[in-house]
Structure 1
Amino acid sequence: MDVFTKKRLQVASITYWLLLAYIVVALVWWFIALQRQNHQMANYKISELKMDDPAFQSKYMEIVDEKRRHDFRNIGEGSIFLVVILIASIFVYQAVRRQIRLQHQQENFMMAITHELKTPIAIAKLNLETLLKYSLSEEKKQKMLQATLQETNRLNTLASNILVSSQLEGGRYRTAKEELDLSDLIKTAINDFKNRFPERLWQCDIEPEIDINGDPLLLQILVNNLIENAIKYSPKESLITCKLFQKNKTVQFQVIDEGPGIPEDEKKRIFEKFYRIGNETTRTAKGTGLGLYLCKKIVEDHNGHIRVADNLNRGSNFMVSFTVKHTHEQ
């Protein structure tokens, strides 16, 4: 969170708590005033009684009981008002902070999406202009075409993430669930990444013929986002591990990297929409903050669960679990 946003949150928080303190003080003052008035009225009524009145004792007790009832009423009403004010204030405070954070994340998203769109377009344009203007060797042509294809794939992934995220959130995406071979889907995705990033080291342990019921496009986006996330945040010479296995009625897919890892207090927040670790102006890794949010949304739509843990050595281990109706025959 940048300095400007922190200052806005501080100003909003200070103003809010000052107003809340004023309201609580006013409530306490109202309670004291009512209690004082109640006691004064009781004392006045008692002073009006005549000692020689045969009904003095009963009238006195009646005044005392009335005073006690008013005390209980004032305490009850004051307590209810105080509890309602405190609950409402906490709710409003959290809502305002969430709104400010969301606005900040949306601003970061616009910065990131602008960069994410301009960079691949500029690279692809430069490569194509170079191919048109100069006569290059076949090897250089292939490298430039491969680089252009990679940037085009980035644009395609970005567009798919934005479109599918919007459709899922708005309830406009029609999920087409069918029985599919998850093993084959993941192997195809890994082979595609191996072709795109031949310099990367891979370790794949994909159990064959694991079938689940799901949407092929959404599951493809899920797998691609997790693997691309591992590539993005880990050193080029490090190992990326992909595992798929089934135990009883649970299918688990893991993508393990050897990057810097994720701080403990950030592990839950990384699945929030637009949320990215670090400062948008100084961050070097590419991204929009939609990938992991979309992963969580897809997994939940398939009645699954996603979480992240630390890798044993260093890095992160993203684990996706699905429950299937039938067990895999070994």
Structure 2
Amino acid sequence: MKKPSKTTVKSILLLTLFYIVISAGLLVLIDQNVTQLDTNRVLSRAQRLGGSLKKNPMLTFNSDIERFSTNVSNQDVKKILDGAIYSREMTRQEIKVTIPILKEGKITSYLSVTDTRSPIIFINTSIIIFCVSLWFFSVYGLSRRAYKRTQFTSNIVAKIKNIERSPLTQSYLITKDDDPITIALNGLGEDIQRKILSNREAKENLYEFIEFFQFPIFVYDGMGAFHRSNAAFQNEFPNANSVDAFSSYSEFLNFLVEKIVHPDIQNKTFYFERINSYYQVQFNPLEMLNNRYLVAMYDVSNYYQMVQSRTDFITNMSLAIKSPIDQINISADKIIDIKLKDKILKETKWLGELINDSVSLTSPSVKNRKVEIHVNQIIEELLDEYKVEIAKKKLYLSVNLSSLVFKTDEQRLRLILNKLIGNAVYYSIESGKIEIDLVKGPKNLQFTIRDSGPGLTELQQARVFENFYQADANFSNLVNSGLGLAIVKKNVEDLKGHVKVSSQIGVGSTFILRF
């Protein structure tokens, strides 16, 4: 038998301590119980003799019974004088009980009765033998279970090692006497082998399948090594055999490395300068092939060129239109008819904002220029710009601003807040209410802008951030291009934030920004 483990020895020691405590407790309990029975027996005898003595004071007793006067002073008398009903003395063999003899409530004498104690050695011996026997069988059972558990573990480990050598090895043949664990392990080995063969077939089928595609595809592992790539990939990136081949494209290389750590499906577009191409990259972890990842690259250069052409066209057109608009504004100042003058200025302002919004929406996103800004100061400045409209509509402002410094792109944030505050002012009914809250949480900064406008239906809420979408045609006469909220959404996303809207018809709308 193998040497017992530390856990088994510890369990035996704890079990031994438990039985010692239980045995000692039983012995003490039985001794106390027998002693109390002996005391009650002798006390009852003494009380009967005391009653007989009251009736016949001249009564004589045997040597085990002693009567003495109140003049005697000993420990028994002292205990009774201190308030005890009786006094008891014991040796190993005898027990003596002393009681007072009362007459008209006064002690006239004392009576001591001595008797033999009940033997308990047999009871104690029986208990000890019983507890030791029980302890022995418990320790034996514990040791036996520990041995079987160790033997079971050793057998399982041996069988698993057989599977590691070869899932279909015959070194552990099944017989009619084999236990269910062995049979289950044999089945596991066969299942592993089937999966290996199945994965091998799936891998070969996949590798053959990707050759049919005309866009670059490659498969790499957790170490960054390429396992297969198709002809289209090899034409674009010759001699690439690992992700290190993309060292000159740092953003794409970081993406591939990050996906090894977080292998979830994702699409992302990258620009490859050396070949002057844009690729939309789709990353897919191959669950059937452990630690393998498939990357498909779609050439979207034509699309980006089209977008750039559209952007250039809108920018050039905007610059071309701005000059005539400025001339119209200058000429409008000379018009004597005030109403006509205001109408012309209002329309040119609307046209100017439409041009600016179009340029803002179609311009490619540039890197944020983050600086520390006082957010509450920006909001106060924007509210000051709308003070005339606010006073004209008799709007009530409820502004709750936390005095804090926030590091972000000031131009983008100012544009976002300007669009939302402007919408709140324009869409709120007369004598309505606008609420602006700024709260800094443990992980984010939250802006809440709530108006008292007509509200939005669920369909309108779903489309409110679309280009040129206006929720209510009744407000089309306002200076509103229909691009404001689309610009808000674009710039919020550029700042890595989130924007959402909640609304109720007849109550108003609430826009929440989180950064």
Q: TM-score, normalised by structure 2?
A: 0.32
Larger Rg belongs to = 2
Q: Please state which structure has a larger fraction of its residues in helix.
A: 1
Q: Please state which structure has a larger fraction of its residues in strand.
A: 2
Q: Relative contact order (alpha carbons < 8 A, sep ≥ 6): 1 or 2 greater?
A: 1
